[in-house]
A and B are shown apart, each in its own frame.
Chain A
Amino acid sequence: MSDRALTSGQAVSVRRPEPVKEWAWWSASLLLVVALTVATWWLNKTVPTWNRQLRVIEFPVYAVLLGLLASGVLSLFGLRERLGAYFRTEFFLKTGLVLLGATINLAEILAFGAKGLLQAVILISSVFFFTWCVARWLGVEEKLRALLAASVAICGVSAAITAAGAVLAKKEQLAYVTGLVILFALPLMFLQPVAAIWLNLPPDVAGAWIGGNIDTTAAVVGAGTIHSQQALKVASITKLSQNALIGVVAFLLALYWVVVVERQPGGHPQGRPSAWEIWERFPKFVLGFILASVVVTAALSQGWVARAAIRDIQHLREWFFMAAFLSIGFGLSFRGLCEAGWRPIGVYALATVFNTLVALAVASLIFR
């Protein structure tokens, strides 16, 4: 190889083709993300038709597995780095979260009445703080602690995703917690309705118990169906009222993270960040989430849009979340997963037992 210095003309002629090449790789990467997202969507739609019990396995499982597979295959051919440009976890997650905000009708929170809201507030706050304290006691890392507490206390996968955005968690932490949510939802879907029948609970109480305890919406529907139609109705409403409070939790969590946890040492004499710093570091998707929710609530209450539009936004949101979990699978580090250790499993198990007992007590008091 010659060590002769290039003239400026030669240098330009050498550099010119690069952007074209880069565009080709970017386009290929975008196509790959789209193709894998479509494959995830197909699996999510098709697998439950093979066996009804498989519907509890939600799209994050397929997406992470496909992402891992793509990453492995591309690594074999040495193409992983070049085709990785569009696996943008953060962008897909946050856009999906703004769309999630648009599917939350604030008027519904009031429509559920005092009972549903009261149960949601008691359960979310008590389960969140219990999980937080147990996780701290067991020495679980702070961001993982926030994800665990949000997912057990609110609504599983969506809450874990929202909390991950609010505290800027690692993708391995989100994958880990999502796996736990799905793993724990599966046995609860069968055990809880059977326990409700064995305890001779009235359908309203059974529904409120199921909706207040089981984390994933699919498993709530499954458990409610096993018990009774009335239990299914109450369980769905209870779950919705918990989901509706996800924005409040995201806002408080993001604020707590910026003001307390990630305070810059030495930056502020009294240890308090300035308003500008809070604004700069505050996750902006929370504002998009709230704005989208307000706009859709206003549009629905004024009758400007049909409810079918909300279904379309829900589907769009799922597409973005599928792409996000694909990207998580693509960049997943097993070392990062192993770093979390066994402790989060213990925290999740203890929190689920606590949630089961508190949800039963609250449902019996409020809905009897």
Chain B
Amino acid sequence: MARERATSKRLTRFFTEDWLAVVVGLVLVTLVLAGLLRNIP
């Protein structure tokens, strides 16, 4: 139980909005560069 809580705490700390923005931003850049997202208005 304590270990689960510690893991959950670590994950929460890692997945802050800051990191989430970096991941989402880089994924979107990759999708555009790979030609999977095109002609965005």
Chain A interface residues toward B at CB < 8 A: 41, 88, 90-91, 93-99, 101-102, 283-285, 287-288, 291-292, 295-296, 299, 304-305, 309, 312-313, 315-316, 319
> Are A98 and B40 touching (Cβ within 8 A)?
no
In whole Å, how far is A237's beta carbon from the nearest beta carbon of chain B? Answer: 25
> Are B41 and A292 touching (Cβ within 8 A)?
no
Q: Which of A99, A283, A319 has the most CB of B within 10 A?
A: A99
Residues of chain B with a CB closer than 8 A to A95's CB: 21, 24-25, 28
> Are A292 and B32 touching (Cβ within 8 A)?
no
Q: Which of A283, A287, A312, A315 has the most CB of B within 10 A?
A: A312
Expressed in whole angstroms, the Cα–Cα distance for A291 and B27 within the complex equals 12
Chain B interface residues toward A at CB < 8 A: 16-22, 24-26, 28-29, 32-33, 35, 37-41
> Are A88 and B40 touching (Cβ within 8 A)?
no
> Are B25 and A305 touching (Cβ within 8 A)?
no
> Are B41 and A94 touching (Cβ within 8 A)?
no
> Are A98 and B22 touching (Cβ within 8 A)?
yes
Residues of chain A with a CB closer than 8 A to B22's CB: 94, 98, 284-285, 287-288
> Are A316 and B41 touching (Cβ within 8 A)?
no
**Contacts A94-B17, A284-B18, A313-B32; is A99 near B25 (CB within 8 Å)?**
yes
The chain B residue with its CB closest to the CB of A88 is: B17
Expressed in whole angstroms, the Cα–Cα distance for A291 and B25 within the complex equals 11
**Contacts A312-B37, A312-B39; is A91 near B25 (CB within 8 Å)?**
no
